[in-house]
Structure 1
């Protein structure tokens, strides 16, 4: 399973739907959407300011994460952004690799 940080903003009718349904029903809708791609919700928080909702979910692979993001964003009611998360061990493994690269102009 891969972990993703998600940030979402309600847009237009999405705001009206949130106000009508309430926060727990929208969270439940996220749980059901994640189940449809064999994922699970780790955390879910409402916020205010630049971002309306933040949280973390587990999902089997990138294809399922992108499919879910595309489906949610296609509604026009929510603007969802995903960020893949790495463990400290993932970063250790990356730091041991030695890719080659030439900087611009060098």
Structure 2
């Protein structure tokens, strides 16, 4: 399974609803990813460019995309970005395969 990092920001209205009715959103996030056979590894709030971060594991890109589409289309977020994460081993394999790509700089 692949790990994914998501960064999200709530709409002001979402924060207002959470102030009126505080809720542990980890439970909802866990339910969403488990519905496609994945796992939630972490859920953090932050201040700065994004309101929060999640670390998810999903069986494949299509499964994670389904979760992202459902969450992003829900209307509670102003931003939702997803980054697939590579293990060190996957990166080493990519580095080895890069030798065979035959890249040439433009104009060279």
For the criterion TM > 0.5, the same-fold answer is yes
Q: Does structure 2 retain, via aligned residues, the 8 Å contact 1:15–1:77?
A: no
Q: Aligned in 2, Cα 1:104/1:96: closer, same or farther, shift over 3 Å?
A: same
Question: How far has the Cα of 1:71 moved from its partner?
Answer: 1.2
Structure 2 equivalent of residue 22 of structure 1: 22
Question: Bigger CA drift: 83-92 or 7-16?
Answer: 7-16
1:42-98 CA-partner distances (Å, limit 9, x unpaired): 011111111111121101000011111111111221121111111111111111112
Runs of 5+ unmatched residues, structure 1: none
For residues 40 and 19 of structure 2, the distance between their equivalents in structure 1, rounded to whole angstroms, comes to 22
For residues 21 and 30 of structure 1, the distance between their equivalents in structure 2, rounded to whole angstroms, comes to 17
Question: How far has the Cα of 1:103 moved from its partner?
Answer: 2.0
Structure 2 equivalent of residue 100 of structure 1: 102
**TM-score normalised by L of structure 1:** 0.88
Equivalenced residue count is 105
Runs of 5+ unmatched residues, structure 2: none
**TM-score normalised by L of structure 2:** 0.87
For residues 7 and 21 of structure 1, the distance between their equivalents in structure 2, rounded to whole angstroms, comes to 23
Secondary structure, counterpart of 1:70 in structure 2? helix
For residues 11 and 29 of structure 2, the distance between their equivalents in structure 1, rounded to whole angstroms, comes to 16
1:22-53 CA-partner distances (Å, limit 9, x unpaired): 251x1111111111111111011111111111
Structure 1 equivalent of residue 73 of structure 2: 74
